Every structure is written in structure tokens, then in C-alpha cells.
Amino acid sequence: MSTKPRSEMSLGEKMQSVPKPILYLVLVLLTSLPLFKELNVPNKPNEASEDFYATVMAVPEGSTILIQSDWTGSTRGESGGEFESLMRILMRRKIKFAVYAAGDPQAPQVVKDSISRVNDERKLSGQPGYKQWDDWISLGNLPNAEAANQAIANNVQTAFPGRKAIPSTGGSPQDVFDSPVLKGHTKLSDFPLLVVVTASNTATIAIERYAGKVKMAQMVTGVMGPETLNYYPKQVVGLVVGLKGVYDIETLMEGGINTADPHTIKDDNGKFQGKSVEGFPGELNKGKATRYYPTLHFAFALLIIAVLIGNIGMFLAKKEAGK
Amino acid sequence: MYSSLPPPLFANLWLGNQYRHTGWFGIVFVLTMVAFVLMNIRRAKTGRNLYIRRIAGLNAIDEAIGRATEMGKPVLMVPGLSANLNAIVMQALNIFAHVTRIAAKFSNPILVCCNDAAIFTVAQEVIRDVYQEQGIPESFDPDSVRFISDRQFAFAAGVSGIILREQTAATFFLGEFFAESLIFAETANSIGAIQIASSTQITQTPFFIAACDYVLIGDEFYAASAYLTRQPILVGSLVGQDWSKLLVIVSIMVGIGLNSFQRINTKYDKTWKDGQEVDAPEHTRKASETFTYILLNPQTNANDADIPAIKLRPEDKRPELPLNERVTKTDAEAPK
Amino acid sequence: MNFFLDIPPATFWNNPSGSNALMIRLALALLIGIAAIFVLLKAPTNYRRPIVGVVTFLSGAFYVMLYLWPVAISRNKGIDAPRNPVEGVAFWLDDAVPVVANFTSIVTAFLLGLGVYSLLRVHGRKVMRKETDWVFSVVLLSSMVLMVFAGYGDWYSRLDPIKAPALELRENWGPINYLRDVLFEGMLQQMDAAMFSLIAFYILSAAYRAFRVRTIEATILLAAAFIVMFSFMGSVEAAWGHMVNPSGNIDNFSNNFTLTEVAKWIRGSIQKPAIRGIDFGVGIGALAMGLRLWLSLDRTGGKS
Amino acid sequence: MKYETIRLIFGALATVGLYSVLYRENKMYRFFEHVFLGLASGYTLVAVWTETLKQSWWDPMVGTQTENGVPGQPGFWAYMFLLPIGLMGYFVFSKKNNWLSRIPIGIILGLWSGQQLQVWWNRYGPQLDDSLRPIIPTSFNPMFVPSTKGLPKIEVDAIKAHVYVSTAVSNIIFVITLLSVLSYFLFSFELKAKFMQKTTLLGRWLLMIGFGAIFGSTVMMRFTLLIDRMYFIWVETVWQGILGQK
């Protein structure tokens, strides 16, 4: 950073020292304005997202899966979209779920809010609502992720002692493990799938502690993608990473994993199987990602241009110095 | 998968083959590394002086503190945002103890910001020890070690506030940093402080690289205290860690060799099908049929009794508790 | 009277809730504990390190044992009796895990007072001495008190298991619930998000300042970053894809050069092993450090 | 004005207040920073009881009464011993007996350290396994992984059982990266040998590619959160909240 007044600077130096406030202002504009305009962006879902979608779609209807949800308002942008798209799929396929948080006391409340939001949009489109106790259960929060996962891996029921909820039929609160959702579920292997929706390193902790005791899929934020990718597909069968991942899922919910995809496999009777999975065409599949993804382009563009300007400036300055 | 498994190793060790669920190999591997570390600590204690290569970031510590002393501004240290007290924090505090020692010599003000009560407690302890050991306990200000907040971004806001108001001249961010890493780094950078940083969260390293003057990558962080203090115990354990890394390297090389060799060979051998041996259909080995795969993918679910390999034999059947002694699920809560 | 009442057998370790026996034992336990503190206060200096060492070792030993001891397979919890001592221990460990698992968070919770004490001291002093910005210390302390008040008030109003469900609906809220909602949902959560999103700005300025193609390393880093970012930009990705592979048939060899494929390849073949390489080292470092702490080999503070 | 709107406005104000630090450190930021810290520590003081001690200490210790048909649980009094242990931490400020505070610390550290043996293998064992990749192709024709377009499953399996030249090459690069990075982090060996120096240099370069890729995907997330904030301020608060548009 040169210290002389801008007036005396050469073009090269100017280009290298654009004042921060200006950069920031441009960023604000570029991330605000496009939000008011519907834009359509082509998309090619990546493998990890496809595997996630296929895994969730392969869970038999009516069975109960376990969800660990460790995100709060601060990562609403990514985790919120992830969780809601997951909810949409589960509710449409009538898959029951028990959701718990490992570490963050607010997570359960955030989850409840987002479930009720999805529920409302279902009611609007005339579908039946998803009832607590009958269709899903909140197991609340366990302090300290390491300990929590250690205990759950050991035995799910004893890990959540004295958790009670009011049956949908009303009356006094009863043990959640007597609910239609969790009846007869005691160990991790009783659940066909565990989905970890997280914005923190509880993703890794879960992998460390559960160690293949249950089939695990994860929905993580963009920043955790690279690290979590280490565990895909060995320890994590399906992986949704950040906004792009959510956009993938929303795309897949619309079109399914296309049977016209050359990579789909026919079995001996020529029936499509393997990766081909149907979607929910026509239903409300577009969520946060569809809204944000186009705007992301402008932010990226700004970053790239800023870096380019800086470098061009550097070369110009070098040239001038050479003269 | 189970059908292609050889008869279980350690099959009748104690009751049934319990080690099948963790796999004996993993345990042996870990214990070997443990042995390496302990062995080398012993070696180092017996006075053999062991070599450590130069680590760039660490030579900058003195420079940074010197700069702070010139400017008479405080040195800021943050031992990461670990959820609770663990070895990473302790490691960071070990390094900070060294930093404090130098700062104390020049009677330079320091600031340690903690995000957890337990971490705060240890930090108090460690930093005070340093001053006592330097023979100037009176110049230790208990308020120089602070608990800011245990909420990630409140902590971030608080610390960057401190950085901006105290105009810290040198900042040390060592330990477990997450998203907030760049908030600290850029704030400190904007006031032109010298920064030495490292995060055990690898995903944060690029941001420290972008914004800090010196970055310890990966386990240079663990090497640091050994490098700085040359304590035999630390040096020894560092050598032990290197041996363990070599163990990993070697086993990867061997494994790859084995794998590649097995994959190019056609498979004629027997497999296990519901308990007895049968001829396997001839084909090139699939990944799941290589020795390494079988070695490294033991049956991981101890609870699952449906797997023939670990189903209890009739004679293994457990007696049942008399009814009046049966316990409810909640009794597992009992401290035994 | 409920015949199906499902109370565990009374052992030495537990008594029915609210019974005098329980109260007496609780009191005794507390007394013994406090007595222990006074005994420890008298402990001669040269015993201190060993005492701490033993405590640390024992608490670590539990998990080490849990790892190394053969696990009881397909145990029917609460019904099966152990077949022999080995399995007896396995059962004991199995049952003890959920208890021990909570110790860390409980003990840390008790320590919280120290943290709060530090806060109060730093800011209390500022207010007392009217140091610069003491007003803001007042702001901090008062908003803290407010949150505590609202938080516990809200919690208390939800204690009753019968009334609690009603409070799910906002109509039934009292002022305390509203206050808590504004402070927590309205402000705290939003401030979290705000601080978090600040990073976006810092990334921009850091990238603009630092990402210059001066060295080979910087150039490599930059190139990789750009490819990945472009691969996230659906439109760019599509345009480029159309250029290298017009037919769009992913069986064409040229399909390997679409941004998605290239980025995928970089992640799979370079980023993944690179991170893994570092990660192995970090993991081993943690293992060694953990070992030294467990056996109290370290002199904390790294005294030289 | 609706309650939701008021809540939204509070949030928006706080957000803008914190953003103001981007221009320079100012009174407004200082105010919201301290509000933030106050609320956060206040919340911690609430959560420590309602979220931690109540459910994992108090309830199991005193047990629960049988109420409206829900069987009660007995109390396990031994939990009480944890309280004095916690109290020992408070000796940290005492000049003479601060060593007592090392006992609770010792317990916490011990519990953490003890888990590391198990954790190491759970976390890195599978990664080790995944790193053992065949580097000798089993089929040179075709050189690349052939398409499995509409093939019967058996043939697909047959195709997948092979290692193709392209796969082998990628695997070789994978392995070279992994090993050179690993060797970059060897500290106790003098890198006299030219070869070793070359490897570690290569290791560093490959690391940079890795970091670049990480940077790319992290940037995505950070920007997303900013976009979400902007959505919160402009759309949710101003557009829908204050202006009451849909």
C-alpha cells in the first residue's frame, strides 16, 4: 500500500489501491439489486448432491430417519435452504423423522420454525400438514457434541433420557420413545439413514463417533465442503455442499435424476435402475437457492474483477518503474 | 461383503469375536503410533539431542514482540475457539507462554482473549506461572487474561473491537479457528499489526495466508512448542509423530503396491458363503476383494446380531436377569 | 396407584425422588466433597502434581478402556446378565458411557462463574473509575442483566408441562416472552448473522490486496481458486461447456474439459489428498498431545 | 405496526450498526458490539442452567416424581460430587492454592485425551483405506472409462471391476500429492537429499492448489450469507415488513 495522495499516483498505483469503502459499497449493491429480479441460471448437479438425493429417495416410505441439525440463524442462507429442501422431500415421501441438536441450544427452535414454514406452504398447496408426535419428533439439544454423539452411538434411547412430548391426541406429555415415530427404535442401526445438517465441525465429530454404525448423509456449508469431501463417499454416502448443493437438490426435485442420463443403468430386463430417480415436477421445489444463486454470480464476478484490476495495476506499475 | 470375508481373525478371543467391530488392525496401528511417541520421549530424555528443521513463522515471534515493545502497544493472543478445553488449546497456550515470557522480559503489555470458562481458567494459571517464573509476579495483571464470550460471533465482535481500540501491534491467532478467522485477520491487518496465525481447521488456512504475515500450516502448529522450547519431552514426541507419519507413508505405499498387484490378477480362490467354503467365480479382483479392503473394513456395528460372522452361538446365549433385577433404560444413567 | 410403574430396582446408588433418604445422601455427598477440598488444601506441595496427574489419568483411562475392552455383542440391555467377568466389565462400560459423557459439560458449566467474574471485573472497574468508554460497559452490563431476566422469566413461564404447549402460539404470550423474543430472536440471532456475513467483505478486500501473481505459489493458488469459482457460476459453466463440448453428450472425450469436470478432478485428485496429507499430521499431533496430557508428561506453560 | 415488523427493525438496525465498522471503528459499532456481548453472556448464563445443568446434572441427581401417569425416575445422588469438583476451579485466583483449579481442568483434559485413541482410527482409518488406490491399469483398451449407457448391470459391474489408464493416472497424481504433502510435514529429518527437497517443494505447490480450491468453495458460502443478510434487510424488513408489500 503506497501512502502518497491519490492525485499523485500513477494509474497502476491507483488500480492497486482502490479504497476499501468503495469495494464494499459495490459489493452491497451487487448483492442487493439482483434479489428483486427473477433470473434463471442453468445448472448441472454434481455427483455428491445426486447421491444425496438418491439416498433420501431410496428410504422406504413410512420409515423413520434420524436428523442431527446444528445450524442457527447465522447460517440461514445456506443451512436454511438445505434443511427446508430436505423437509420438502421427506414430507412428500411420508418419511417420519426424529431431529436432535448436538451442542447448539438454539438449533431445536430454529428447526421447529423452519418445519412450520414448510408445513404452511404444504397447507397452502392443499397437502396434509406434518404433525409432531405422529410424523416427527424433536429430541431437543444435547450439550457437547463429542459426548452427545458418543452416547447416541452407544444407545439412542438412553442418550435422550426423560424426553417427553404431548401426543397429537392431546393429554399429558409422554416419553417420545413411545411415539409412532420412535417406537421400537433403540440403536442407531434401527434407523435406515442419519442426515446431519450442520454449519459447524459437528459434521466431523459425527463421523468420528458414529463410525459406520449407521448410513450417514450430510448437508454442510460451502466452507466445510472441501474437508467433508474427504469422507465422501466412504463415510458419508451423500453430500450437499452450500448454495450450489441446495440448487442441485432443487433442480433434482424438479427433474429427478434424469433417466435420459447416459450414465443410468438398465438391469437385465431393460428396466432403468441404479441412479435413475424420479422428482416432483410441478410441485413447489424452488426455494432459497433459486432466489440467491443468480445473485451469487454478481458477487463472484466482482471478486474476480477486483483481483484482476489489482494484478493489472501491479504490471502497469512495474512497467512505469521500468521506464 | 460378509460373504467374501475370510474366517474372522482373533476369532475366539475371549467371548466370540468382539474385536471384529473395531477391527484388530486399527487398534494395532494406533498402539504402534503411541509406542513410537513414548519411545522417542524416552530417547530424548536420555539426553540424545534430536534435530528439528527450521519453521519460518516461529522465528518471527521475537521480531513481532520487539516491534510491539518499540510502539509500546500490547500483544494480543487468542488460543482459538475450541468448544471446550482440549489439547489444541493447551498447545496454543504453551506457545503463548513462550511469547509471554519474552514480552515479560521487555515488560510489554499482553492480552489473552478466551471464549470458554475452562480455557480462561487454564490461561490465567499458565500466564501467571510465566510471570512468577520470571520473578515478577507483581507485574502480572489478572485482567490481561479475559473471558470475552462463549458465543462465536459475539467473541469475534468483541476481539475485533479490542484490536481496533487498543491498536495492538502484534497479534497471535493460534489454535482452532473457524469462520471468524478472517474477521480477526483483516481487522488486525487494517491497523497494520504483525500477525502470526495458524488454524488446525485446514479450511481456514488459505484466509490466514491471504491476510497474515506468518502462517503455521497444519501440524507446524504442534511442532512449534518443541521448536521454541527444545524441551526433551516435546522434541521426543515430535520425533515420535514423524515416525508415525512415516508409518502412515509406508503403509500407504505398501497398501497401494498390494492393491495394484491384486487388482491385475485374476481371482480363483474360495469365498465364504453362509458359513462354508465354495469356489468363487473367476474374474479380476474387485476393489472389495483386495486384502487391504478386507483388513480395513471390519464389521463396524457391534450391536448388529444379524451378521452370521458375529451372531452369538447357542452356547454363547446369555442367562437372563431375574425379573425383579431387570433395569429400565434409565438405569443406564446410574453412576456405577 | 399405577401397577405398571416402571421404577428401576433401588440400589445403593439411587433413591426415589424426593425421599428423605435421597436428601440425606445428597447432603452427605456435598459435605464429603467439601471436606475433600479442605483435605486437599492441606496436601503438601510435592503431592500436588501427582494428585492432579492421577485424576487426569483416571478420567482418561475410562475412554481408553472403552476403546480397548472387547465389546459385548448384541446385548439385550436390561435383560441380559453378563456371562463372565470380561463381559461384566463390558456391560459396565456400556452403561457408564452416557453418564461419563456429560461430565465435561457439567464441570465446564460450573466453571462459567469464573468467566462471568472476569467480565464483571473488567467492565465493573471501567464504570467505577469512569474510564474512557465506561458508558459502553454500562450498556454491556445492563443488556446482560436484561437478557438473564428475560431468559429465566421465559424459561420459568414454560416450566408447567400443561401450560407449555399453549405458549407455542403467540396469542398466549406474556410480556416476558415478548421481551425474550425481541432480545434473542430479534437481536442476538441477527447480530450473529451480521457478524458472520461481514466475512464476505473481508474476503473481497483480502483477495484484492493479497492475490497478486508475484510468486509461483500465489499464481497456482489463484488459478485453482478461479477454476473452482467459475465452476460454481452456472452460466459461465454452461457457456464454457458449450464451447468445449457443443454436442453436450457427456460421452465425448471433450466433456472432460468442462469446468465442472475439471473442478471435480482438482478436488478429487489434488485438493482431497492435500487436505488429507495435512490432516494426518494434525491428527497425529493431537494424538501425541493427548497422550502427553493424559500421562501428564507436559509441563504446561512449556517452562524451559 | 405489527410485532414482527418491530422485531425485524431491531434486527436490521443491529445489522447496520455492526456493518458500520467496515467504514471505521465508531460509536455506533461500539454500542452494538457491547449490546451484543452483553446479550450473549446473558444468554450463556441462562443456557448454562436451562440447557446444560438442568437436564444433564440436576434432573438425574434429584430424579423426577411420578406425575399424571408418567413414571418418575429415582435420583442418583453421586452426581453431587461433581459440584465440589467444579468449585475447586475457583481457587485459580488464590495465590497459595491455585493448583486446586488444575483438578477440574485435569478431569476435562483427561476425558478429552482418553477419547483420542478411538477418534484417531475412526477418523483416519477409512481415509487411509480410501488412499490405497490401484495405480496399475488392468485394461489398456479402452484407455478411458467407457460409457455404461443403457448396459445391463452385469456388464456395468464388469466395466467397474477394471482400472483404466485414465483412472490410474489420476490415482498416481493423488498418491504423489498425498505423499509429498505428508513428507513436507516431516520436521525431524534434514532434507539434504536433492530428491527430498524437490518432493517437499512439490508438496508445497500441490498444497497451494488445494488451498486455492478451498478458497473458491469458501467464498461461495460467505457471499451466500451476505446475500441472505441483504435479503433480510431489503426484502424481509423494508419491502415486506415496513412497506407491507408481498
Chain D residues whose beta carbon lies within 8 Å of the beta carbon of residue C108: 108
C228/D217 CB distance under 8 A = yes
Q: Is A76 on the interface with B (CB under 8 A)?
A: no
Residue A237 to residue B236: CA distance in whole angstroms: 40
User: Which of A27, A43, A147 is opposite residue C101, by nearest beta carbon?
Assistant: A147
Collapsed DSSP state (helix, strand, coil) of residue A68: strand
Q: Which of B252, B262, B266, B331 to probe the D interface (max D CBs under 10 A)?
A: B252
Q: Is B333 on the interface with A (CB under 8 A)?
A: yes
Asked if B320 and B24 touch (Cβ cutoff 8 Å), the reply is no
Residue A189 to residue A212: CA distance in whole angstroms: 9
Pairing of strands A96-102, A136-142: parallel
pLDDT of residue B270: 60
Q: What is the mean pLDDT of residues D79-99?
A: 91
A78/D225 CB distance under 8 A = yes
DSSP state of C221: H
pLDDT at position D55 over 60:
yes
The residue of chain B nearest to residue C75, with distances taken between CA atoms, is B303
Lowest mean pLDDT among A23-37, A149-163, B185-199: A149-163
Residue B236 to residue B226: CA distance in whole angstroms: 9
C170/D144 CB distance under 8 A = no
The residue of chain C nearest to residue B328, with distances taken between CA atoms, is C8
pLDDT digits (tens, 9 = 90+) for B160-218: 999 999 999 999 999 999 889 999 999 999 999 999 999 888 888 999 988 999 999 98
Residue D102 to residue D99: CA distance in whole angstroms: 5
pLDDT digits (tens, 9 = 90+) for A227-286: 788 788 778 889 999 899 999 999 888 888 764 444 455 445 544 455 567 788 777 788
Cα D203-C220-B170 angle, rounded to 5 deg = 80
Q: Is B134 on the interface with D (CB under 8 A)?
A: no
Q: Is B328 on the interface with A (CB under 8 A)?
A: no
A166/C189 CB distance under 8 A = no
pLDDT of residue A187: 84
In this complex, the chains that touch D, judged by 3 or more CB pairs closer than 8 A, are A, B, C
User: Which of D41, D62, D86 is opposite residue C119, by nearest beta carbon?
Assistant: D41
Q: Which amino acid is at B205?
A: T
pLDDT digits (tens, 9 = 90+) for A170-213: 777 778 888 899 988 888 888 999 999 998 888 888 888 886 78
pLDDT of residue C4: 34
pTM of the model: 0.88
B203/A224 CB distance under 8 A = yes
Chain B residues whose beta carbon lies within 8 Å of the beta carbon of residue D73: 330, 333
DSSP state of B22: T
Per the model's pLDDT, the better-predicted residue between C217 and B48 turns out to be: C217
pLDDT of residue D14: 95
Per the model's pLDDT, the better-predicted residue between A192 and D244 turns out to be: A192
C-alpha cell at B200: 488446525
Measured between alpha carbons, how far is residue D192 from residues D179, D189, D195, D198 in Å?
A: 18, 9, 9, 11
B333/A226 CB distance under 8 A = no
pLDDT digits (tens, 9 = 90+) for C129-158: 998 889 999 999 999 999 999 999 999 988
Indicate the pLDDT class of residue D178, thresholds 50, 70 and 90: very high
Q: Is D154 on the interface with B (CB under 8 A)?
A: no
Q: Is C2 on the interface with B (CB under 8 A)?
A: no
pLDDT of residue B7: 40
pLDDT of residue B62: 85
Q: Which of A295, A298, A302, A303 to probe the D interface (max D CBs under 10 A)?
A: A295
Asked if A242 and A222 touch (Cβ cutoff 8 Å), the reply is yes
Chain D residues whose beta carbon lies within 8 Å of the beta carbon of residue B264: 136, 138, 163
pLDDT digits (tens, 9 = 90+) for D124-162: 988 898 899 889 888 777 777 776 655 666 676 777 778
Residue B110 to residue B127: CA distance in whole angstroms: 10
Q: Which amino acid is at B177?
A: F
Indicate the pLDDT class of residue C9, thresholds 50, 70 and 90: low
Measured between alpha carbons, how far is residue D38 from residues A72, B144, B151 in Å?
A: 19, 20, 11
pLDDT at position A115 over 60:
yes
In this complex, the chains that touch A, judged by 3 or more CB pairs closer than 8 A, are B, C, D
Q: DSSP string spanning B49-101? A: -------HHHHHHHHHHHHHHHHT-PEEEE----SS--HHHHHHHHHHHHHHH
pLDDT of residue A263: 47
CA of D129, closest CA in chain C: separation in Å?
A: 12
CA of C178, closest CA in chain B: separation in Å?
A: 22
CA of A164, closest CA in chain B: separation in Å?
A: 14
In this complex, the chains that touch B, judged by 3 or more CB pairs closer than 8 A, are A, C, D
A141/D51 CB distance under 8 A = yes
pLDDT at position C128 over 70:
yes
Q: Is B278 on the interface with D (CB under 8 A)?
A: no
A201/B153 CB distance under 8 A = no
Phi, psi of C159 (to 5 degrees): -65, -45
A229/C272 CB distance under 8 A = yes
C97/A106 CB distance under 8 A = no
pLDDT mean across residues, chain D: 87
pLDDT at position A3 over 70:
no
The residue of chain A nearest to residue C218, with distances taken between CA atoms, is A311
**Would you give per-residue pLDDT tens digits along chain B (336 residues)?**
333 333 443 444 444 445 555 677 888 999 999 999 999 999 988 877 778 888 888 888 888 988 899 998 999 999 999 888 989 999 999 999 999 999 999 889 999 999 999 999 999 999 999 999 999 999 999 899 999 998 889 999 999 999 999 999 999 999 999 889 999 999 999 999 999 999 888 888 999 988 999 999 988 999 998 888 888 899 999 999 999 999 999 999 999 999 888 888 766 556 556 666 666 666 667 777 778 887 887 654 434 434 444 445 555 667 777 766 665 434 333 333
pLDDT of residue A1: 45
CA of D200, closest CA in chain A: separation in Å?
A: 22
Asked if A68 and A216 touch (Cβ cutoff 8 Å), the reply is no
pLDDT digits (tens, 9 = 90+) for C223-240: 999 998 998 888 888 888
C-alpha cell at D23: 467504514
User: Which of A103, A162, A223 is opposite residue B203, by nearest beta carbon?
Assistant: A223
pLDDT of residue B187: 94
A164/C279 CB distance under 8 A = no
pLDDT at position C7 over 60:
no
C224/D48 CB distance under 8 A = no
Q: How many CB atoms lie within 10 A of CB B166?
A: 14
The percentage of chain A sitting over the pLDDT mark of 90, rounded to a whole number, equals 29
A74/B332 CB distance under 8 A = no
CA of B329, closest CA in chain A: separation in Å?
A: 6
Q: Is B84 on the interface with A (CB under 8 A)?
A: yes
Measured between alpha carbons, how far is residue D233 from residues B106, C225, D23, D237 in Å?
A: 49, 30, 19, 5
pLDDT of residue A207: 87
Give D 8-37 residues with CB within 8 A of chain C.
8, 10-12, 14-15, 18-19, 21-22, 30-37
A18/C208 CB distance under 8 A = yes
Q: Which of C158, C188, C232, C251 to probe the A interface (max A CBs under 10 A)?
A: C232
Which residues of chain C form beta strands (DSSP E)? 14-15
Chain D residues whose beta carbon lies within 8 Å of the beta carbon of residue A21: 22-23
Q: Is B189 on the interface with C (CB under 8 A)?
A: yes
pLDDT of residue A229: 81
